[in-house]
Amino acid sequence: MTEAALANLKNLYRIFTVPEAPDSTLGRVDQAISQDVATFLQKHIVALERSLEDIEKDFSACSVPEDPTFVSDYTEFLKNKLVAQSVHTAAPGFVGHMTSALPYFMLPLSRIMTALNQNLVKVETSKAFTPLERQVLAMMHNLIYRESEDFYRTWIHDSRHALGAFCSGGTIANTTALWAARNQLFKPQGGFRGIAEEGLFKAYQYLQCQGLAVLVSRRAHYSLKKATDVLGLGRDNLILVDTDDDNRIDMEKLKTAYLGLVKNNIRPLALVGIAGTTETGHVDPLEAMADFAAEIGCHFHVDAAWGGPTLFSTTHRALLSGIERADSVTVDAHKQLYVPMGAGMVLFKDPKTLSAIEHHANYILRLGSKDLGSHTLEGSRPGMAMLVHAGLSIIGRKGYELLIDLGIERARQFAELINAHPNFELITRPELNILTYRFNPEWLQSRLPRLVPEQQLRVNQLLDQIVLEVQKRQREAGKTFVSRTRLRASKYAQDEQITVFRSVLANPLSDEKILSAVLEEQCAIVRETEVQRLLDQIRILLKSTENSL
């Protein structure tokens, strides 16, 4: 076998040109996936009961295999060990994360993209892909900023400027936005040659400040922490401002936080508004934030990684009003544009902003060239823009509108189901298509607010344990899935966090029947002995409270 595989490999011509016989495992898997992805996933993701620790044993060999193997033998391993033990994110009952189903055409189109293997860092390895990516950026820019036709005609393919940067996702998009803002604030001036050349320490000295800060609500995505770290600002200088009862940044607290910075001679680099928080899907008051950013003269960034595509919806677009005043906006295509993972964008209102991070090299990215790599953080990049272009063209504005409207409608339906159900308590109302809730039976819901704080705390801790246990067991059973998080709920003590289920309604196939099934499965898990034991502890606690009254 090994000998034969080696002989096969020695003829290198074969592995770079001739495919294996179509009846090989690879051929069959490939055919099955191409014909019907949903059935393939349903049929082959099977090993749900194994723990991750167990699965790790299948992946513990630590040296590179000495001998080559046949592609089909490898595919056999892949099918049994990797595919079988992966997560069925496209299942309609998987309503816990932002990663869900893909339109069928993304798969064959991805193959074309892979076959072409274009590198978007420079024109020499991408040609038409470069203007295509710039077109995608212009379309998204237009969705947000709605500038004139003239504006887009001027800037779309202008070699010295860019309407945005395409990247692998929201994390890099947010980092790029703050990077550009930082370099623009510390641009070359007077005798100072700019932060890009002289570094942060000299920049602080030159502007005579003690540091730079980024202001955002407590619901910020953790990528902003990474960004402040990477950019040298320090995570301490990501100022997390408290939210109001609707999970939006509290403008009064924002102003107080700002004054605190001024007092310590720390400059606000940027104010970040969130359009669709990762945990609860809420939208910050973007108009008020734009006003405030203008007042204090700092960069206004909107993290619309999740919620950006809401702009496609005539009905819901107004939820994001004020976004068009942002200096930069992050949008993830691999979330609500339904593109495979690895596609994010940051758009800049002013096409000159990205010049602040421009970089040139001699063999590529030459001054005046149209190489996209001169203003992206990443170097070599795949042609993912092609898939965004495909989505925008095939699904179209109206198609995305349908998807967005449906998701928001479903989230409202789910919220009603939860409210009507005797065992559950809605924690955050959906504004977009994300909501949180928890297990909290009716008999307890009515009494919980009347308990003294310590007892309320104790009961909430037990409920936390129940939610955690239910979520874990539900995930392990693999039929349906919601995620969980911890957050402060406005109806309970303000400095206390509770554990909640989090549901994201982005798969159009997750209908009301499936959402009911999610709740029913959770109820069934609660009836299991170990969970009942926790519930008994709550009963005992309540009883002792009543006796003491």
How far apart are alpha carbons 407 and 432 in whole angstroms?
8
CB of 306 to ligand PLP, least distance (A): 4
204 binds ligand PLP (CB under 6 A): no
> What long-range pairs does 417-425 form, CB within 8 A, spacing at least 24?
417/512, 417/515, 417/516, 417/519, 418/519, 421/519, 423/519, 423/522, 423/523, 423/526, 424/519, 424/522
170 binds ligand PLP (CB under 6 A): yes
How far apart are alpha carbons 225 and 238 in whole angstroms?
7
- Region binding ligand PLP by CB under 6 A among candidate stretches 164-172, 372-380, 510-518, 526-534: 164-172
How far apart are alpha carbons 176 and 165 in whole angstroms?
8
Question: Strand order in 434-439's β-sheet?
Answer: 424-428, 434-439, 497-504, 483-488
Interface with ligand PLP (CB under 6 A), residue total: 14
How far apart are alpha carbons 540 and 444 in whole angstroms?
12
Using the minimum distance from each CB to ligand PLP, give the nearer residue, 282 or 438.
282
- Residue type for position 503: S
CB of 404 to ligand PLP, least distance (A): 15
Residue with tokens 């009716």: 442
**What one-character DSSP code corresponds to residue 481?**
B
Using the minimum distance from each CB to ligand PLP, give the nearer residue, 336 or 355.
336
303 binds ligand PLP (CB under 6 A): yes
179 binds ligand PLP (CB under 6 A): no
Choosing from 93, 169, 322, 430, the residue that interacts with ligand PLP (CB under 6 A) is 169
C-alpha closest to that of 116 among 100, 106, 99, 129: 129
Q: Which residues, other chains included, contact 238 with Cβ-Cβ below 8 Å and sequence gap of 6+?
A: 213, 214, 216, 220, 224, 225, 228
How far apart are alpha carbons 383 and 376 in whole angstroms?
14
344 binds ligand PLP (CB under 6 A): yes
504 binds ligand PLP (CB under 6 A): no
320 binds ligand PLP (CB under 6 A): no
- Nearest residue by C-beta to ligand PLP? 170
CB of 276 to ligand PLP, least distance (A): 6
CB of 167 to ligand PLP, least distance (A): 9
Q: Which residues, other chains included, contact 450 with Cβ-Cβ below 8 Å and sequence gap of 6+?
A: none
248 binds ligand PLP (CB under 6 A): no
Using the minimum distance from each CB to ligand PLP, give the nearer residue, 274 or 519.
274
409: how many CB neighbours lie within 10 A of its CB? Answer: 14
- Region binding ligand PLP by CB under 6 A among candidate stretches 129-137, 166-174, 423-431, 467-475: 166-174
CB of 332 to ligand PLP, least distance (A): 5
Torsional class of 248: left (φ above 0), alpha (ψ -120 to 50), beta (otherwise): beta
- Per-residue x/- track, 61-100, ligand PLP (CB under 6 A): -------------------------------------x--
Using the minimum distance from each CB to ligand PLP, give the nearer residue, 345 or 463.
345
Looking only at residues 8 through 37 of this chain, which bind ligand PLP when binding is defined by CB under 6 A?
none
CB of 100 to ligand PLP, least distance (A): 13
306 binds ligand PLP (CB under 6 A): yes
CB of 171 to ligand PLP, least distance (A): 3
How far apart are alpha carbons 141 and 311 in whole angstroms?
11
- Region binding ligand PLP by CB under 6 A among candidate stretches 117-125, 167-175, 244-252, 385-393: 167-175
In degrees to the nearest 10, what's the CA dihedral of 44, 46, 52, 58?
A: -60
How far apart are alpha carbons 272 and 249 in whole angstroms?
10
How far apart are alpha carbons 270 and 441 in whole angstroms?
43
Using the minimum distance from each CB to ligand PLP, give the nearer residue, 171 or 460.
171
Q: Which residues, other chains included, contact 292 with Cβ-Cβ below 8 Å and sequence gap of 6+?
A: 251, 254, 255, 258, 271
Choosing from 221, 267, 389, 438, the residue that interacts with ligand PLP (CB under 6 A) is 221
CB of 378 to ligand PLP, least distance (A): 12
* 179 burial level (CB within 10 Å; 0-12, 13-18, 19+): buried
382 binds ligand PLP (CB under 6 A): no
407 binds ligand PLP (CB under 6 A): no
Here the tokens at position 86 are: 């992966």
Residue with tokens 């339109």: 103
- Region binding ligand PLP by CB under 6 A among candidate stretches 199-207, 256-264, 302-310, 356-364: 302-310
171 binds ligand PLP (CB under 6 A): yes
Choosing from 100, 175, 223, 228, the residue that interacts with ligand PLP (CB under 6 A) is 223
278 binds ligand PLP (CB under 6 A): yes
Using the minimum distance from each CB to ligand PLP, give the nearer residue, 436 or 440.
436
- Region binding ligand PLP by CB under 6 A among candidate stretches 40-48, 124-132, 197-205, 299-307: 299-307
Using the minimum distance from each CB to ligand PLP, give the nearer residue, 225 or 479.
225
Residue with tokens 């504005």: 397
**What one-character DSSP code corresponds to residue 164?**
E
- Region binding ligand PLP by CB under 6 A among candidate stretches 239-247, 301-309, 312-320, 428-436: 301-309
305 binds ligand PLP (CB under 6 A): yes
How far apart are alpha carbons 161 and 134 in whole angstroms?
11
* 367 burial level (CB within 10 Å; 0-12, 13-18, 19+): exposed
Choosing from 327, 332, 371, 464, the residue that interacts with ligand PLP (CB under 6 A) is 332
Using the minimum distance from each CB to ligand PLP, give the nearer residue, 303 or 521.
303
Question: Using CB under 6 A as the criterion, which residues of the chain lie in contact with ligand PLP when the complex forms?
Answer: 98, 169-171, 174, 221, 223, 274, 278, 303, 305-306, 332, 344
